[in-house]
Structure 1
Amino acid sequence: MAATDRLCELLGIELPLIQAPMAGAQGSAMAIAVSSAGALGSLPCAMLGPDALRSELQAIRDASSRPFNVNFFCHVPPEPDASREARWRETLGPYYAELGIDPAGIGAGAGRLPFSEQAADLLAQYRPPVVSFHFGLPVPALLQRVRAWGAKVIASATTVEEACWLAEQGADVIIAQGLEAGGHRGHFMSDDLTRQMGTLALVPQIVRAIDKPVIAAGGIADSQGIAAALDVGAAGAQVGTAYLLCPESTISAAHRAALAGEGARHTALTRLFTGRPARGIVNRIIREVGAMSDAPPEFPLATAAIAPLRAAAEAQGSGDFSPLWSGQNASGCKPIPAAQLTRELAAALRAHRPA
């Protein structure tokens, strides 16, 4: 059986294409649209509280019986560090003054939560057919709860070593996240970014190392990119950035403008917005503070202090302080419905799956 067919059978989908879950940039509407087109739509859950998660899951269930994916983070929440937080707010001080923000009124907040017993309880009521994880896997007891209703488990790897570990732990499908990918790096074994590879270098090495379907992710924004990933052994592709201009996307007007402009060709890995390396379009704060500054506290504690700057600037139409998440290839972004984009991307998949 061809790798693409094996993947489709495993996940119950028609097209070996996954819409990347993009926390803060989309909700159930995009997942529904992509799944309706025969691919695997994804719901990012790391920023959803229980009520919001329930609402989104119900919306998906009400709209379609097609398979879909729910995605969670698996980070270990850090202990707050008052001195680190103070240094971060001091770094941001001139910007608070510029935008008329009183830092004394800014509270602390986690920003993103890891997969938990509470989330598992809620998911068990809806039994999503696919559950994916970023930053490793949850503890075995939680993973077993996911498997109890028959869900398939997908997890991201940024190195061959991570892929082998995930396969040993029982992940059904491995996402090979190349260095080109937008949003947060999924690394969990090492913080050393020099160990990270580009997609077309990473995919074939993981394919040779494990006996699991491998999904290519990172820099794939059109049918040619998908074809290239399949040619080096991927069973399918995960696409995120290309969907960000679709009407189902919930990103700001400033983010949309950045993706549509020439500046989208300049991205960087940065810790500024959350405390963990993530790829986005270079903007003012990245240029002035430094993409990998050590001022922000650990992920996800950096989020609270910069959020008011983002809100104030976006209200003025500026993305100077926004996480303009994007992969290195935004050329495939199109302001068309997500289902239509999915069908266009499927052209390459059909070429590699002759009738």
Structure 2
Amino acid sequence: MDLRDLLAIEHPLIQAPMAGAQNHLLAAAVCGAGGLGSIPAGMLDAQALERELSAIEALTDRPYNVNFFCHQTPTADPAHIAAWHQLLAPYFAEFGVDPAQIPSGATRQPFDATMAAVLEQHRPALVSFHFGLPTPELLKHARASGAKIAASATTLEEGLWLQEHGVDAVIAQGLEAGGHRGIFLGEELTTQLGTFALLPQLVEALHVPVIAAGGIADARGVAAAQALGAAGVQVGTAYLLCPESLTNPLHRAALKSERARHTALTTLFTGRPARSIVNRIMRELGPLPHGVPAFPLAGNAISALRAKTESLDLDHCTPLWAGQNASGCREVPAAELTRELAAGWRA
């Protein structure tokens, strides 16, 4: 079974959810071209989610995906936050940020009952999760919307765990992928595999459909994933320059430059490893420095620095999310890109 049968879509192609870089406009354009557009909910509350789902449904009656994070929100340790601010002190001084004015608390919320209630009103075709799965009770509520359930696996062990917990499909997130790693059964980054190493392992071991994600940027990549047994593909970075995306000008400029060839996994921006184009703060502090607060508590201080540096037209502290293969990232309409990618599957 491929995604066309599972989700009643024309092309077995999911537009990866990219919180902060897109909204319903990109998702609706992909849906209109026969793919599965995604609404990222990791930075939304229930009211904002309701607005987004109403907005996409006003633009298309085709199936769509809603994506959520499943992390446990940690309690902020004042001593740990103080040490984090001390690490960032040279940047606070350079750009005039007062650490006393930085808000506390989580910048990203996990899936909860209020969001599940919104899903039951809108009934998306797919609900996908990152960082594992929610509690059984919350997962039951997500299923009550009538949606199929998918989640990201970064290792064979994670794929088997997800299958045992009842998902309808597994997203094989290769190391090449931009944005946050979906790793959830451990923190050891040496366990992480490239897409075309991970994909065949999952296809052989699982009986649910496996979706390839990471490094797929053109029709050739789509065809390669199909040849290795994928039931479909998920593509993110290639959509970041589409006019329907919300990618900011500094991020767009980086994606169009030679800098896009150099990405790294970093915990600096949120506390969890995520792939970004390397910028000044990553070079100077290292992409994985000791002392970064747990996800998502690192985000407040970085957001304050980001606001100051971006006001000066600098991307020094901006998360420039991108996968290792930005070759397909072009300023073309999302519908056109979707059809070009889908041609690889037909071939």
Please classify the TM superposition score into its range, dividing by the shorter chain length: over 0.9
2:344 maps to which residue? 348
CA distance in 1, matches of 2:79, 2:287: 21
Match of 2:317 in 1: 321
Q: What amino acid sits opposite 1:91 in the alignment?
A: L
Residues 44 and 70, structure 1, Cα contact 8 Å, conserved in 2: yes
- Counterpart AA for 1:67: P
Q: Is the 8 A contact 1:155 1:166 kept in 2?
A: yes
Partner of 2:197: 201
Residue identity matched to 1:210: L
1:149-164 alignment, distance < 5 Å: 149-164=145-160
Q: Is the 8 A contact 2:67 2:130 kept in 1?
A: yes
With structure 1 as the length reference, what TM-score do the two structures score?
Answer: 0.96
**Runs of 4+ deviating beyond 2 Å:** none
Q: Name the counterpart of 1:143.
A: 139
* 1:59 aligned onto 2:55: yes
Residue equivalent to 1:86: 82
- Structure 1 residues 239-248 or 92-101, which shifts more? 92-101
Counterparts in 2 of 1:266-305, with a 5 A limit?
266-305=262-301
Cα RMSD for the two superposed structures:
0.9
1:258 is aligned to 254
Shift of 1:50: 2.2
1:252 touches 1:314 (CA, 8 Å); kept in 2? no
Deviations 1:154-196 (A, max 9, x none): 1100000100111111100100000000000001001111111
The corresponding residue for 1:73 is 69
Whether the aligned pair in 1 keeps the contact of 2:20 and 2:43 (CA below 8 Å) is yes
Contact 1:253/1:317 (8 A) holds in 2 = no
How far residue 124 of structure 1 moved from its aligned partner, in angstroms, is 1.2
Deviation at 1:235? Answer: 1.1
Which of 98, 103, 107 is equivalent to 2:99? 103
| SS of alignment partner, residue 132 of structure 1 | strand
Following TM superposition, by how much is the alpha carbon of 1:31 offset from its aligned partner in structure 2, in angstroms? 0.6
Please tell me whether the aligned partners of residues 74 and 137 of structure 1 are also in contact (alpha carbons under 8 angstroms). Answer: yes
| Distance (whole Å) between structure 2 residues aligned to residue 148 and residue 304 of structure 1 | 34
In the alignment, the residues of structure 2 paired with residue 345 and residue 293 of structure 1 have an alpha-carbon distance, to the nearest angstrom, of 37
1:73-109, Cα deviation, whole Å (9 max, x unpaired): 0001111111111111111111111111222111113
Match of 1:307 among 295, 303, 315: 303
- Aligned AA (1:102): D
Q: Which moved more, 1:24-33 or 1:144-153?
A: 144-153
Corresponding residue pairs, total:
347
For the 8 Å contact 2:276–2:320, the answer to whether it is kept is yes
TM-score, normalised with respect to structure 2: 0.98
Aligned to 2:116: 120
% identical equivalent positions? 61
Aligned to 1:339: 335
CA distance in 1, matches of 2:162, 2:134: 11
Task: Return the alpha-carbon distance in structure 1 between the equivalents of residues 275 and 145 of structure 2.
Answer: 34
**Superposed displacement of residue 54, structure 1:** 1.1
Deviation, structure 1 residue 51: 2.2
Please give the residue correspondences for 1:184-195 in structure 2 after superposition, counting only pairs within 5 Å. 184-195=180-191
Extract unaligned runs of 5+ from structure 2.
Answer: none
